[in-house]
Structure 1
Amino acid sequence: MTSPVEVPDRLVRTAVRWCGEEAARPWLAALPEVASEYLDRWGLTHERTVLPGGALSLTLLVRRADGTPATLKLGFVDRYTAHEAEALTMWAGHGAVRLLDADVPRGALLLERLQPDVSLRSLPEDRAMLEAVEVLRHLWIAPPDDCGIDLVADRAEVWTRSIPRRHAALGGPCPKALVDEAVSLCSGLAASQPSAVVLHADCHHGNILAAERAKWLAIDPRPMLGEPAFDLGALVRDRLTTVVAETRPQAVVRRRVTWLADSLDLDAERVRGWALVQALALGLWCVSAGDPAGEDLLSVAEWLA
């Protein structure tokens, strides 16, 4: 008998908090039926639901008709996730999970089976960073001319407007000088990028899983096109709860910037700048959404200033 599809509590919480009641509730309510639809359409047998699962996706471990293990991902489609399948197709399994089938408009992806319970979070930080760097080396490829993935420069332009606006609306939860620096960095860094590559844009330790055909593979990209330095922001702020608990957290974050830049032969100032902008933009958004990580992210931005 096929196991019943379960919508994880974590998915309900994050979808409502991040996407709002109006968008999240209908999508969440439809997920069990949508899961059944794709299980039938692609001839899949449901083994179990991955718990706690993705922040904005329902993930099912399945078997194909020929018995091959696979993963069915049903994700919330927005501007950040709309090009996930396109990036996975370009990577073709090099450094990332392999895409087996997709219904892109509805966010349904059939993926190769990795080890969902074993991520780089299972390793000590130093070792995890080494492995993450090796994964990123495979992902940074030149995009085709007709690539439709969003540009880092366009996102930076949006941030120059949204960061000051959100900061003001929240009553100034961090120094105004930090906002001014972020806006300046957005303009300067975006305008001076080297040739663009395909970026994962959310490559933290939790998004790199153990695999069979490779030691580690990336999942859940929010792809963009831009310079490699932009892609290191998620690693700079990774394991945030642990970093905040350190005696000298600023030193930890800045040491990561230097190490990551040196390991990948990148400009440390560009890594620092993009990491600051991302931490501030995400921190302000989290504060506005009532996400408790917001205050810690704002602290990261200050430590990088």
Structure 2
Amino acid sequence: MLKISDPHREAAGEATALRLWNGHHAARLYENDGFALLIERCDPGTHLDDLVTGAALLRELWITPPAGTGLETLADVTAEWADLVETRMDTHRPGFDPGLVALGVKLLRELPASASRDVLLHGDFNPGNVLAAQREPWLAIDPKPMTGDPAYDPWPLIEQTEDDHTLADRFTIAAETLGETPHRLTAWALARTVESALWCVSEDDLDDAAEEMATARELADLL
């Protein structure tokens, strides 16, 4: 299938990541010309709905990136996000718990430096970006790749998978499959959620921002 994206920062590394995975648990890249990609079609293309299956696939995607990929580092991106969170708090004054926001900023700045390894990150590993296929049971699509701490990646999968487990249990289940700790996965989830809340504020989406901050409070209570 032919995928044409509007040129934007998050999509800039998609072809690089797909080429590095080379069809290993991800859709194959056949050709690309900038933001136009000819990629493998996933048939039947239904979305993933199982946390353990998704976590196992994600772990396979975490390869050691070769030198010179040109991909952004997670540390650089989250340092920029931390600055933006603080700027948006000062500019918009949304009335959020300043201590909770400060914790999110602290984690955005400090977590990358304490990672035990750097891997190729998917960047947007939610259930809608894992599709049923013929060549393999499931294939990842639509990466927004960076390189850095693997514990950054699982939060969209954990948050958006629909099951009967509590949020704490989902972190535990994912951590066991991924070889990470629930605490580190939770810390990254909190950091990402605070950033998302302040992005929503900057877009004047105050209802979603409030929901994100409520989730951030729930995550902070799990730390």
TM-score by length of 1: 0.67
Residue 38 (structure 2) aligns with: 110
Deviations 1:40-66 (A, max 9, x none): xxxxxxxxxxxxxxxxxxxxxxxxxxx
Percentage identity across aligned positions? 37
Tell me by how many angstroms 1:154 deviates. Answer: 0.5
Residue 254 (structure 1) aligns with: 168
* 1:102–1:108 Cα contact (<8 Å) kept: yes
Aligned length: 219
- Structure 2 counterpart of 1:131, one-letter code: T
Tell me by how many angstroms 1:117 deviates. Answer: 4.7
Distance in 1 separating the partners of 2:116 and 2:154: 15
**Are positions 1:266 and 2:180 aligned together?**
yes
Tell me by how many angstroms 1:116 deviates. Answer: 6.4
Tell me by how many angstroms 1:263 deviates. Answer: 1.9
**Are positions 1:211 and 2:133 aligned together?**
yes
Give the 5 Å matches for 1:157-176: 157-176=79-98
Give the 5 Å matches for 1:55-74: 71-74=1-4
**Are positions 1:134 and 2:62 aligned together?**
no
Distance in 2 separating the partners of 1:227 and 1:287: 27
User: 4+ residue runs of structure 1 moved beyond 4 angstroms?
Assistant: none
The one of 117, 139, 150 aligned to 1:195: 117
**Are positions 1:277 and 2:191 aligned together?**
yes
SS in 1 for 2:160: coil
- Structure 2 counterpart of 1:270, one-letter code: R
Worse-matched range after superposition: 264-273 or 197-206:
264-273
Cα distance change, pair 207–293 in 1 and its aligned pair in 2 (3 A): farther
SS in 1 for 2:10: coil
Residue 35 (structure 1) aligns with: none
Residue 23 (structure 2) aligns with: 93
* 1:253–1:300 Cα contact (<8 Å) kept: no
Residue 51 (structure 1) aligns with: none
Query: Which ranges in structure 2 are unaligned for 5 or more consecutive residues?
Result: none
**Are positions 1:238 and 2:160 aligned together?**
yes
Distance in 1 separating the partners of 2:201 and 2:209: 5
SS in 2 for 1:198: strand
Deviations 1:150-192 (A, max 9, x none): 1111112112211121123232342101111112212221211
Distance in 1 separating the partners of 2:148 and 2:67: 14
Distance in 1 separating the partners of 2:204 and 2:43: 32
Cα distance change, pair 208–293 in 1 and its aligned pair in 2 (3 A): farther
Deviations 1:181-211 (A, max 9, x none): 1122122212111221101010010100010
Tell me by how many angstroms 1:276 deviates. Answer: 0.6
Greater RCO between the two (CA within 8 Å, min separation 6)?
Answer: 2
Q: Which has the larger radius of gyration?
A: 1
Tell me by how many angstroms 1:283 deviates. Answer: 2.1
Distance in 1 separating the partners of 2:46 and 2:209: 27
Distance in 1 separating the partners of 2:176 and 2:40: 33
**Are positions 1:229 and 2:151 aligned together?**
yes
- Structure 2 counterpart of 1:231, one-letter code: D
More strand by share: 1
* 1:74–1:109 Cα contact (<8 Å) kept: yes
SS in 2 for 1:209: strand
Distance in 2 separating the partners of 1:235 and 1:166: 27
Alignment RMSD (CA, Å) = 2.0
Distance in 2 separating the partners of 1:299 and 1:208: 27
SS in 2 for 1:73: strand
Residue 147 (structure 1) aligns with: 69
Tell me by how many angstroms 1:213 deviates. Answer: 0.5
Worse-matched range after superposition: 142-151 or 110-119:
110-119
Cα distance change, pair 117–297 in 1 and its aligned pair in 2 (3 A): farther
Query: Which ranges in structure 1 are unaligned for 5 or more consecutive residues?
Result: 1-70
Residue 202 (structure 2) aligns with: 288
* 1:237–1:279 Cα contact (<8 Å) kept: no
